[in-house]
């Protein structure tokens, strides 16, 4: 009984947070990130483009709760297509690596790097890329990436690596690798502990905006976007 009540309360609290964030987005998204707001109408089309291969990935490599959502994947794809990005990166390799690598093949001027802190998952990502005839260059383990200080000025970083604790701990390093006007997309911001920690670390220097209306998936997950003030 107690467990059921706790789950019901958590669900109520999560839904209340989602409704509050959506209300705030309606007021602020067009002001804070107008270029992102303009992508909303195109998201369903891009989701359809990637749906089959996303289903393949979540059934053969990962699962729907741990892989990047189709909604957030579509948003990243549109960012690559619509914005003049010179260098982009995802941390926490997987379907995001496939998606960004595929989009960059159609946009030769954009350079893509993928960073992973788990050797096993890095190997699985390489296998999935190769199975789909995509390059597996520019994939690094986190420790090696930290040593390569020249890898910076990223115009877009999708941060989705490791546990919530390690993800928070790596934020200062991630911040130093962004270009001056670069965009940082933080996944799994539905988790209160990560959301609060990210706000605490970034809010004095970054403008943070929830993207619930664009990235909310069936599992209640959503992303945020951040850019220097």
- Euclidean distance between CA atoms 70 and 214, whole angstroms: 11
- pLDDT at residue 100 greater than cutoff 60: yes
pTM of the model: 0.92
**pLDDT at residue 9 above 50?**
no
Q: What is the DSSP code string of 54-69?
A: HHHHHHHTS-TTTSPP
- Asked if pLDDT for residue 26 goes beyond 90, the answer is no
Number of domains in the chain: 1
Which of 25-39, 47-61, 167-181 is least confident?
25-39
CB of 135 within 8 A of CB of 97? no
Q: What are phi and psi of 226, to 5 degrees?
A: -140, 150
pLDDT score, position 224: 98
Which domain covers residue 114, as residue numbers?
2-228
* pLDDT, the chain, mean: 93
How do beta strands 178-186 and 224-228 pair? antiparallel
CATH at residue 177: 3.40.50.150
For residues 179 and 153, the answer to whether their CB atoms sit within 8 Å is yes
Q: Are 129 and 100 in contact (CB under 8 A)?
A: no
Alpha-carbon span 33 to 95, nearest angstrom: 25
Query: Residue 72 in 3-state DSSP?
Result: helix
Q: What is the pLDDT of residue 19?
A: 76
Token pair of 130 as six digits: 């190769």
């Amino acid at each position: 009984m107690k467990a059921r009540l706790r789950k019901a309360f958590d669900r109520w609290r999560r839904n209340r947070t989602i409704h509050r964030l959506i209300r705030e987005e309606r007021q602020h998204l067009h002001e804070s990130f107008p270029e992102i707001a303009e992508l909303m109408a195109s998201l369903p089309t891009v989701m359809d483009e990637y749906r089959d291969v996303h289903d393949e990935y979540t059934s053969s490599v990962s699962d729907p709760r741990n892989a990047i959502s189709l909604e957030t994947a579509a948003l990243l794809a549109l960012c690559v297509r619509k914005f003049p990005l010179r260098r982009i990166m995802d941390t926490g390799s997987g379907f995001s690596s496939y998606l960004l690598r595929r989009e960059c093949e159609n946009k030769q001027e954009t350079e893509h790097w993928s960073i992973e802190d788990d050797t096993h998952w890095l190997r699985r990502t390489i296998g999935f890329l190769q199975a789909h005839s995509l390059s597996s260059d520019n994939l690094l383990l986190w420790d090696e990436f930290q040593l390569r200080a020249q890898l910076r000025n990223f115009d877009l970083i999708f941060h989705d690596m490791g546990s919530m604790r390690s993800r928070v701990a790596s934020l200062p390093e991630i911040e130093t690798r962004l270009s001056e006007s670069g965009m940082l997309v933080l996944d799994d911001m539905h988790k209160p502990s990560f959301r609060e920690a990210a706000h605490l670390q970034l809010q004095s220097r970054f403008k943070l905006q929830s993207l619930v209306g664009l990235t909310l998936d069936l599992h209640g997950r959503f992303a945020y976007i951040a850019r220097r003030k």
